Structure 1
Amino acid sequence: MGCGRSVGAVSTWMATVTSSTYFDITVRLLLAVILGGLIGLERDKRDLPAGFRTHILVCLGSALIMLISIYGFEDVIDRTNIQADPARLAAQVVSGIGFLGAGTILVHGFAIRGLTTAASLWVVSGIGLAVGAGFYFGAVLTTALVLFSLVLLNRLESWYVSQRRLRRLVVRVVDQPGQLARIASLLSNYGVIIRRIEVEDVHRKGDKPSVDITLSLHFPPDQSPLFVVERLRDLDGVRDVSLL
């Protein structure tokens, strides 16, 4: 009797899923793939650690977990004293995605990179949950806003930086004391203001290590960045200067 009831319950549940929700579940999972892929394509074009496939998988997995929360326990919610909470399982995605996002954050010296990609993974997981819950309008609108932020606002930021005469220099120097102080002193003599300093990858040339120093600089209106670059190349211990 017990076995017959179990088989009957499973058959009833499968019939319900295939007849009333099969198409809806398919649409939600496919939409999660599309929306996650759109954001992943933008990240992939920039050759970032989490790209096209990663964003698809995060969005698809989040949508599936939400669907499990909604449809996965239909055979027990009608029992006495059983209360269903679809948000309970899905809520674990919000905290769990943080571990995946942390893997995209890279620290090079004093520079931290990958925060935007980690944030995009977190948002994509939210989009997947929205799609799985059937909140299509919110998922599509959020995807559009994310792409607007990653693409158009990035261009606007670049334009704004150029208008403020902000430029970036990468100075490769021999790794020895006093190099940064000499560079800062020269820039100060020409009225250039240092906005940000990043010390990154150590390169070895022969038996002397060298360090890349990335400088975000504000140039005065009457000062040519190319002229300053030439003066930096004349400093002792400077191996190369690149103007970005």
Structure 2
Amino acid sequence: MENFWAELRLMEGLVIAAVLSGLIGWERERRRRSAGLRTHILVGVSASLFVVLADTLITQFATSSDLVRFDLVGVLGAVVSGVSFLGAGAIFSDRRGGGTQGLTTAAGLLATASVGVACGLHLYVLATGATLLFLFTLAPLSRLVGQVQHAEEEKRDA
């Protein structure tokens, strides 16, 4: 029964990662982007779970043998690599030279993974602060950039 409560305590980071990742995903969902609510929650919770699993392995087995090396930094690198691979799939180039699409989606997935990692490490204040910064970047800053671009177009057309 003690093991059950210990595992339930580990779920805390995953639940908070789901909520914070969901906030980022909801913002993307409202804008009808390809990676929305479900995708961001899956990325954030997965990143958190990988960190929790690595930390649990280190805690349980690190002292049992000098022949086995445990490296939480390696797990973090694997999370970044995996999410970057997903992000690369979200990026498209316009063949007519009109630009690139999906960069914000790819960056959002990486940002969401970092929130999940912070939650897996039980750094909830940091994860919440980062989420708020990401949301500010995605919403108000997006509107500001749109206004500036619109003003520049009007100048050009005048």
TM range (shorter): 0.7 to 0.9
> What's the TM-score, normalizing by structure 2?
0.88
Counterpart residue number, 2:127: 139
Deviations along 1:81-107, one digit per CA (max 9) or x if unpaired, are 255432322321111211100111122
- Partners of 1:76 and 1:131 in 2: CA distance: 22
Match of 1:87 in 2: 73
Given candidates 98, 104, 114, the residue that maps to 1:116 is 104
**Structure 2: which 5+ runs fail to align?**
none
Q: Could you say what the CA RMSD is over the residues aligned between the two structures, in angstroms?
A: 1.9
Cα distance in 1 for partners of 2:150, 2:100 equals 23
Q: Deviations over 1:36-68 (max 9, x none)?
A: 111111111222111111000000000000000
Distance 1:115 1:48 in 2: 11
Mark the structure with the bigger radius of gyration. 1
Q: Write the letter of the residue equivalent to 1:151.
A: A
1:92 and 1:45 map into 2 onto residues whose CA distance is 30
Query: 2:63 matched to 1:75?
Result: no
Counterpart of 1:98 in structure 2 is 84
Q: Which runs of 5+ in 1 are unaligned?
A: 1-13, 168-216, 224-244
2:116: which partner in 1?
128
Quote how far apart the aligned CAs of 1:73 are.
4.4
The one-character-per-residue Cα deviations of 1:170-196 (angstroms, maximum 9, x if unpaired) are xxxxxxxxxxxxxxxxxxxxxxxxxxx
**Matched residue of 2:33: which SS?**
coil
Q: Superposition pairs for residues 217-228 of structure 1, below 5 Å?
A: 218-219=156-157, 223=158
Equivalent residue letter for 1:89: V
- 1:229 is matched with which residue? none
More strand by share: 1
Q: Give the TM-score normalised by structure 1.
A: 0.59
